[in-house]
A = this chain, B = another copy of it.
Amino acid sequence: MSGLKQGGRADSGACLGAALSTIGELVGDRLSRAEAVRLQHASQLTWMASQPPDAVAFVETTDEVAAIMRICAHHRIPVIPFGAGTSFEGHVNAPYGGLSIDLSRMHSILSVNAEDMDCTIQPGVTRLALNEHLRDTGLFFPIDPGADASLGGMAATRASGTNAVRYGTMKDNVLAMTVVLPSGETVSTGSRARKSSAGYDLTRVFVGSEGTLGIITEMVLRLAPIPEAIVGGICPFPDVRSACDAVIATIQSAIPVARIEFLDELTVHAVNAHSGLDLAETPLLLLEFHGTAASVAEQSQRFGELAEAFGGGPFIWSEKPEERSRLWKARHEAYWACLALRPGARPIPTDVCVPISRLADCVEATKSEIADLGLVAPVVGHVGDGNFHVQPLVDMDNPDEIETVRGFVARLAERAITMGGTCSGEHGIGQEKRRYLEREHGRAALSLMRSIKAAIDPHNLMNPGKMLEPEE
């Protein structure tokens, strides 16, 4: 297996200058080298240092992206795709400089095919904008990572979120893409057919490729019917294990739960303060059921019985949209709510996923280490998938603490992998998690990934320094 070339980088200022000058002729004042713009396009939601690109191009069409890519390929300039900048793993940083391609102006919804329950969009459309647009069609796009991320970015990181237990992840909901390759060629990865056995699954090659294989410039997304009735509810549990056992029993009982989210007592405490709620400050499950009125009532009742059998409850649920919204808004604001637990500290959200039978073991061991280390680190989880996040609040002026938290995150990744899981359920690898990839996949699989990268991007121009590339 061939290795990966080390960091495609702009070898000389001359090359970069020539490339940017040609690109400037193409896009005019939509190319910016202003420092504020460059800084805004570096990663800011992580503990990695911001590494701004040399310039930012605000692109508007696939053809324009292809033309820019050809110029960058000619001059060997690194290219970093940028959606909404909501990545937690440093995906938009430019460790070797180069050009950030900002796709946020490509935000058109090109078509909605209600009969086929799909839509064709540009990658800069955000999930909230899409759902707002779809409101009157009876359809919605179910993938909900919390942040109002761009859908192109969500595809690039194989995002998921609270609805994945019922509706799957981006892997399951992108039917096809248009992608500009590192060569500047444009490919279409599939059709609008719901399924196909015609050739390699190029769509799934690009979903989760973190901008390292090409630039997504158009997507066909699968939509879901807006449920006739929705019930949301809250159920406290005495401890993590009983909550996890109730989750396993729920899923095994074929209750088609749409969302089943875990909040630990510290998160509940923060959410109560932030959102003016008075939830019991114990491990909680937040749930949502989708279906007909009769079916969501039946699902809720059955879940309540199961929860009780595992020592949980009472399960309090409601069909009222305003109560549900309040609850889910609180869940989505947990990230911000938790900031108040340690003012001035930076949150470092991390993300693992394990087989659900190991979830309680993994969360318990992790919380025990949090206590031992004296960290302030709330835990939330998309527990129907075995996926959870720990969000240590770190004093970034304290190098010892940073080292401690790094060690904690490394042991968490190791724990998840040892339990048959993964070091990233939905945030991706980016920069910081590269160190766990060989441990998770083994040398042969990592080498295979690098062969695919080298075949598609032989000069390592696309988002260099991310995912597969060894750490510096």
Residues of A within 8 A of B (CB): 1-2, 113-118, 138, 157-160, 164, 168-169, 171-172, 181, 183, 185-202, 204-205, 207-209, 224-228, 248, 251-254, 256, 290-292, 294-295, 298, 351, 353-357, 385-387, 416-417, 420-429, 433, 436-437, 440-442, 444-449, 451-456, 467-468
Contact = CB atoms under 8 A, between A and B. Distances in A.
20 contacts: A1-B183, A115-B252, A116-B357, A118-B355, A158-B195, A169-B195, A187-B442, A195-B385, A195-B425, A195-B426, A198-B422, A198-B429, A198-B437, A199-B429, A199-B467, A200-B209, A201-B205, A225-B251, A225-B253, A295-B295
Contact of A191 (B421, B451, B467): B421
A445 B2 CA distance: 22
Given A187-B444, A444-B185, A449 B195 contact: no
A186 B456 CA distance: 22
Contact of A441 (B188, B224, B426): B188
Given A186-B444, A195-B164, A197-B428, A356 B115 contact: yes
A383 to B, nearest CB: 11
A432 to B, nearest CB: 13
B254 A227 contact: yes
A224 B255 CA distance: 11
A451 B445 contact: no
Contacts of A157: 197
Q: Which of A189, A197, A225 has the most CB of B within 10 A?
A: A197
Contacts of A421: 191-193
Contacts of A256: 256
Contact of A422 (B116, B171, B191, B446): B191
A375 B338 CA distance: 69
Contacts of A192: 355, 420-421
A159 B195 CA distance: 10
Contact of A193 (B114, B228, B420): B420
A146 to B, nearest CB: 14
B197 A445 contact: no
Nearest to A387: B195
B158 A168 contact: no
A426 B195 CA distance: 8
Contacts of A225: 251-254
A228 B157 CA distance: 36
B254 A113 contact: no
B198 A424 contact: yes
Contacts of A423: 198
A354 B204 CA distance: 20
B424 A189 contact: no
Nearest to A137: B252
A218 to B, nearest CB: 14
Contact of A197 (B226, B251, B427, B447): B427
Given A1-B185, A187-B444, A194-B386, 19 more contacts: A116-B355, A116-B357, A158-B197, A159-B197, A169-B195, A171-B204, A187-B448, A188-B441, A191-B421, A193-B416, A196-B425, A198-B428, A200-B453, A200-B468, A201-B207, A202-B441, A204-B204, A227-B254, A291-B295
Contacts of A446: 199
A237 to B, nearest CB: 17
A363 to B, nearest CB: 14
Contact of A452 (B200, B228, B425, B426): B200
A263 B199 CA distance: 28
Contacts of A355: 113, 115-116, 118, 192-194
B208 A201 contact: yes
A205 B195 contact: no
A174 to B, nearest CB: 11
A191 B426 contact: no
A192 B294 CA distance: 34
